[in-house]
Amino acid sequence: MPGRGPKKRGRGGDPAEHLRLLTELLPAEAAADDDAWLPAPLDPAVFFPEPAPIELEVGCGKGLFLASAAAAQPERNYLGVELAPGYAKLTAARCAARSLPNAQVISGDATLLIRSLLADHCVQAVHVYFPDPWWKARHRKRRVLCEPFFQQAARILAPDGTVHAWTDVEEYFLEAMEAAAATGLFQPPRSVPEPVAQNDFDYRTHFERRTRLADKPVWRAELDRSDRSPPNRQPITPYERIRLRTAATKTDESSRPTK
Specify burial of residue 70 (Cβ count, 10 A radius: 0-12, 13-18, 19+): buried
Q: How many CB atoms lie within 10 A of CB 223?
A: 26
Q: Answer whether 202's CB lies under 8 Å from 196's CB.
A: yes
Residues 85-104 within binding reach of ligand SAM (CB under 6 A):
87
**Residue closer to ligand SAM, measured from CB, 199 or 229:** 199
Do residues 233 and 39 lie in contact, with contact meaning Cβ atoms separated by under 8 Å?
A: no
Q: Which of 21, 69, 83, 105 binds ligand SAM (CB under 6 A)?
A: 83
Q: Provide the minimum distance between the beta carbon of 56 and ligand SAM in the complex, in angstroms, as a whole number.
A: 11
Task: Please give the order of strands across the beta sheet that includes 77-82.
Answer: 19-21, 103-107, 77-82, 54-58, 123-129, 157-167, 219-224, 190-191
**Binding flags for ligand SAM, 98-137, as an x/- string (CB under 6 A):** -----------xxx-----------------xxxx-----
Q: From the CB of 176, what's the least distance to ligand SAM, in Å?
A: 14
Q: Which of 14, 132, 200, 227 is catalytic?
A: 132
Using the rule CB under 6 A, which residue among 78, 186, 207, 219 binds ligand SAM? 207
Which residue in the set 91, 205, 251, 255 belongs to the binding site for ligand SAM (CB under 6 A)? 205
Distance CA 32, CA 180 (A): 32
Closest to ligand SAM by CB, 98 or 143: 143
Active site residue 35: no
Kindly list the distances between the CA atom of residue 174 and the CA atoms of 107, 178, 193, in Å, as whole numbers in the listed order.
Answer: 29, 6, 17
Q: Which residues lie near ligand SAM (CB under 6 A)?
A: 58-61, 81-84, 87, 109-111, 129-132, 144, 205-207
